[in-house]
Chains A and B, each alone.
Chain A
Amino acid sequence: MEEELPAAATMSMEVDILPIAADNDETARLADLIEGVAGEFSPFEDLHGFSIDGVYLQTSVLPSGWRDRLVPVTNANTAAPGGDPQFTGWCLDKEDLCVAKLCALREKDRNFVAALVRADLVDTHVILGRLATLDPDHARAASSAHRWLTSLHRRE
């Protein structure tokens, strides 16, 4: 899908990685470790031209069931320098990603989702359905996201 992304889909030179660990404390420890090795201004960034941001579960608002919809990515790009083994990266499902973006609803998030909707790469109705599954603590963000997406959908 990376090759299909429209130019208007916002992209910085940073990749968010959520370490999958047994508890939040361990996730935080690993996220800090990732940041130290490959974060902003690291030698890794100097070498590869992008940085890796270790994030926590609380960083994004995600819909119920997101873990069951993770998409495995295994290819030459996920391999160790010698080509073996090929590691597996688990990516957010595209509609779950849109839910997280819409709950933040910053300009870059709106542009990203709008570009994907216009390119017909995501299903608006699926996103709306998943917004309804958010924890009640995020009801206000879900309501704003729902209104914005409905308004976008009407204009498309």
Chain B
Amino acid sequence: MGDRGNVLELVMRETGTSQSELSRLSGVHQPSISQFLSGRVDLSDEQLDRLLSCMGRRLEVVRSVVRPELTRSERRSWLLHRRISSRLTRETLEVLEPVIQGNLSRLHRGVTGEPHERNLHRWQVLVDTRDLPGLKRVSTGLDRDSIEMREVSPMRGLLSEQERSEVLAQVG
């Protein structure tokens, strides 16, 4: 279950609201509520606020700067992609594209299941359209979506072994 699903479950428990009752109050189908609670379907802030309102609560989203909790592996991957991002320009992207396209072809053959196949398709679109801001966003992002995009990254072969070693030395 995602964080929003946990909030929904907490308020339902606090207010003694059943899934069927919340469905009647909100007009959201009960199976959808069940899927939000089980984590099978993602719940947006807007949807959560709507459901909480039916139980006399509002959602307040607080803006704050935090250091994300990354596994060592996720941090390594972020640092490597950040280094690659720093050298990506319109000109270098054009030169590097054959390598990236080759990587994409190999990944298409070896990767299965979702969200990997969907994310691979998204990389393909970013590269095909030479969407430089988009490529930099998924290369440097620390949101879960960007972290999962990098799990099927086509950016290998773009750093020398020395550059890679320098980046890995920063992790420790």
Contacts and interface: CB of A to CB of B under 8 A. Distances in A.
Interface of A: 7-14, 31-32, 35-36, 39-43, 45-46, 49-50, 53, 55-56, 59, 105-108, 110-112, 115, 140, 144, 147-148, 151
Nearest to B144: A106
Contacts of A110: 39-40
Contacts, number: 100
A96 to B, nearest CB: 19
B124 to A, nearest CB: 15
A134 to B, nearest CB: 16
A147 B38 contact: yes
Given A11-B111, A13-B111, A147-B37, A40 B77 contact: yes
Interface string B1-12: 100011000000
Contact of B40 (A43, A140, A148): A148
B38 A151 contact: yes
Contacts of B116: 10-12, 108
B110 A41 contact: no
A109 to B, nearest CB: 10
A39 B165 CA distance: 11
B37 A36 contact: no
Contacts of B157: 41, 46
A139 to B, nearest CB: 13
A105 B3 CA distance: 11
Contact of A108 (B72, B77, B113): B113
Interface string B136-172: 0000000010001001110111110100110010011
Interface in B40-66: 40
B160 to A, nearest CB: 10
19 contacts: A8-B113, A8-B114, A9-B113, A10-B112, A10-B115, A11-B112, A12-B111, A31-B72, A36-B165, A40-B76, A40-B156, A55-B71, A59-B72, A106-B148, A107-B114, A140-B6, A144-B5, A151-B38, A151-B40
Given A40-B156, A151-B34, 10 more contacts: A10-B116, A32-B171, A36-B165, A39-B76, A42-B164, A43-B161, A55-B71, A56-B72, A59-B71, A144-B39
B73 interface: yes
